[in-house]
Chains A and B, each alone.
Chain A
Amino acid sequence: MSLELTLHTSPQVPVEAENISPDKFAGLTIAEIETLSVMHGNEQLTLADFFKVEGQTGAEIHLQGDLSRLKYIGSGMSSGHIHIHGNTGQHLGAAMSGGEILVDGDAGDWVAPDMSGGRIQIKGNAGHMVGSAYRGSPVGILGGEIIIHGDVRNEAGHGMRNGMIVVGGNSGDFTGVDMLAGSIIVLGKLGIRSGAGMKRGSIVTLQAAAMLPTFSYACTYQPTYLRIYMQYLKDSGLAIDEAHISGNYERWSGDAIELNRGEILLYKD
């Protein structure tokens, strides 16, 4: 059994729905869940004004309908499952520390900012600032796993301290900018200026990429740890060949302006 939330009224302006979260639903009856507040622009309404709620409480949450105007779904969640059967809006899983979110469609900007744990999987594309720091904060995600099967836009992994971001398609500019540690794997094309200002961490791509003048070629080798990562991604349903698992990678060190302890690994067949 699951808890089904079906959108019956499309919002006219953006809705902030941080209350759609297993943590907030815990211990509540259906009637109580329906009265949880959401912000429709500047007016406070309830979940029942937009959603039909039915099913079993305490189970996996399923969301139906076009949720591209709903922000902050799964915000701050620490456990449980949310499955979004369509598109979703900005700030998905903001500051989540555990649990899992699965999105069948696309997600808006700021997927999982300030995340510290848990897992997000998006079957479609995502916007700017995936797994990044909020403006004014120097540190992005502290942990967790974000897997996006489609493309992402600029600044994925901005300032990330730990965790893993995987992009099945192409990434935008400044991927892994100012990153402190962690891993970003882009199976498609990496945008320009990747790793600008990075201190440590790894950015991996399977295609040729433009390098900043402050990155220098180190060697070509077969990173052992990458085999484990790639095998795991293959098992997660991403398009990884055997050659990507055991093949050669060029290692570029950078960013020389900072510690020069980060790396960009480029697959070489």
Chain B
Amino acid sequence: MSENIKTVKNATCTFCGCVCDDMILTVDMDEKRIIKAKNACVLGRAWFSQHTIEDAPAAMIDGQPVSVDEAIEEAAQTLMNARFPITYGLSDTTCEAQRQAVAITDFIKGTIDTTTSVCHGPSGLAFQGIGESTMTLGEVKNRADLVIYWGGNPAESHPRHFTKFTVTAKGMFTPNGKKDRTVVLFDVRRTASTPVADIFVQLKPGKDFEVLWALRALVKGRTIDASIEEETGVSLETLKDLVERMKNCRYGVFFFGMGLTMTRGRHFNSGALLALTTDLNEFTHFVAKPARGHGNVTGADNVLSWQTGYPFGVNFSRGFPRFNPGEFTTVDTLSRGEADAALIIASDPASNFPKAAIDHLRSIPVITLDPKETLTTKLAHVAFRTATYGINTGGTVYRMDDVPISLRPAFESPFPSDEEILTSLKARVHELVLAGKNQQSALKTSTSLNA
């Protein structure tokens, strides 16, 4: 350890959707690495310790090191020559970079989609169809006396969720922390989160919708047959007890995870939970929130919604935004072999997409921006190595409850940020768009002269 040590107070961890902004980082400025992250959870500690500066070229074309300017020129030409280019990723970068990506996609008349489409995209559809009764996590900490998790395992995915906001946190109207709350967990199996719950409801896999539908019916005073237990694994008595608790709580909250949104039924599962929340507001105050995974996936939804009107799966090929999940979402455009170029920002689809999608990704020119080498950067035509957001760059990210939080970088990276690369790329693409228009109008003038 060198002598050159810096402490960064109130730094922000951008690993998961909790976006904890109370980190105290100890940074070795000579070695350019974070040696201690006070207040961080196990995931946050790994995030901070593993993002060191690697010795690698800032830009590569087909695996050969090139200058950043050359790579930007090549990337711009590739995108401009494509007829159905797609932009994907965006959940692990700043809102400032996401803005640039939307502008680029607009200029190239492409399709923009974020990792939302493979995690809480169904919730996005359900928000549009049903509506969302929302809140901030601070409100939950201060008021919630009934906390229900559905299809998630926060003990392992969002380790500080329980202690900072929902279970042991002491708030204005919950001065005794856990004693003032009832915690319910719905899942198909026991997980590390189960011991935290006062009531654990184990349902049969793929029966979320049926259970939610039965709960809705009971809340509305309809009768449900006792055979529900055989079908879903949850007894009618349990459901009735839960409905009474939900109707009689002071402030209830649902947090739902991918166990709900990515199992059979998808947006209807999320929709059923949001509809149940709406139903419960006839009796008490009830809210629902997806427990978002990536650090700034919520920001991606916000930026896309604010710039295009839609949260994900947006197509610009006709010059205006159109939203149609299933048609314009990335897994679909790749699996059907439609996309002919891809700009992938801070994401690694080659490691988790279906095989047909990855096979197609291999056959088209791909441009990547990533702080690390990934399976996707390895197959990229143009690969940019960028600085890590929150560790090397400032900017804005959104917490899972749509609260924007500023970043405090710990140390500088020799690599440019996503925002810098994308801003340069946008400028070059814009030049090419203008040149194309001039060429077309020149062509028109000469044709009319000839005529």
Contact = CB atoms under 8 A, between A and B. Distances in A.
Q: Do A and B come from one complex?
A: yes
Contact of B214 (A12, A193, A213): A213
B400 to A, nearest CB: 23
Interface stretch (B56-64, B144-152, B219-227): B219-227
Interface SS of B by simple majority:
loop
Contacts of B225: 213
A41 B340 contact: yes
A67 to B, nearest CB: 14
Nearest to A192: B264
B210 A213 contact: yes
Interface in B207-238: 209-210, 213-214, 216-217, 220, 222, 224-225, 227-228, 231
Contacts of B340: 12-13, 41
B447 to A, nearest CB: 15
A213 B84 contact: no
B441 to A, nearest CB: 15
Nearest 3 CB-CB pairs, A to B?
A: A41-B83, A42-B109, A13-B84
Interface in B83-101: 83-84
Contact of A173 (B110, B216, B227, B264): B264
B84 A135 contact: no
A90 B327 contact: yes
Given A41-B82, A42-B109, A214-B213, 14 more contacts: A13-B84, A13-B340, A41-B83, A41-B84, A42-B316, A43-B83, A109-B326, A136-B129, A196-B209, A196-B268, A212-B210, A213-B210, A213-B214, A257-B213
Contacts of A13: 83-84, 338-340
Contact of B317 (A42, A90, A129, A212): A42
Contacts of B228: 213
B258 interface: no
B421 interface: no
Contact of A214 (B110, B217, B268, B317): B217
A12 B338 CA distance: 7
The number of chain A residues touching the other chain, given as a range, is: 20 to 34
B317 A136 contact: no
B83 A128 contact: no
B25 to A, nearest CB: 43
A135 B325 contact: yes
A177 interface: yes
B367 interface: no
A193 B268 contact: yes
A173 B264 CA distance: 9
Interface in B139-189: none
9 contacts: A41-B84, A41-B340, A135-B128, A135-B129, A177-B268, A193-B268, A213-B210, A213-B217, A214-B214
Interface string A172-199: 0110010000000000000011001000
A39 interface: yes
Contacts of A59: none
A209 to B, nearest CB: 14
A90 B217 CA distance: 36
A161 interface: no
Interface string B329-349: 000000000111000000000
B213 A40 contact: no
A136 B84 contact: no
Contacts, number: 85
A42 B84 contact: yes
A257 B324 contact: no
A60 B224 CA distance: 54
Interface in B183-214: 209-210, 213-214
A129 B210 CA distance: 21
Interface in A194-208: 196
B210 A40 contact: no
A12 B83 contact: yes
Interface string A94-112: 0000000000000001100
Interface in A227-244: none
Interface string A26-55: 000000000000011111000000000000
B222 A256 contact: yes
Nearest to B319: A42
B327 A193 contact: no
A169 interface: no
A214 B212 CA distance: 11
B149 to A, nearest CB: 23
A14 interface: yes
Nearest to A43: B83
Give the most central of A13, A43, A174: most B CB within 10 Å: A13
Contacts of A90: 327
A174 B268 contact: yes
A134 B125 CA distance: 11
A134 B310 CA distance: 14
B14 to A, nearest CB: 30
A39 B338 contact: no
A212 B210 CA distance: 7
Contacts of A173: 264-265
Nearest to A69: B338
Given A41-B340, A213-B210, A136 B323 contact: yes
A213 B216 CA distance: 11
Given A12-B340, A135-B128, A212-B213, A257 B222 contact: yes
A213 B83 contact: no
A13 B264 CA distance: 30
Nearest to B315: A42
A149 to B, nearest CB: 23
A257 B264 CA distance: 21
B83 A42 contact: yes
A135 B317 contact: no
Contacts of B216: 214, 257
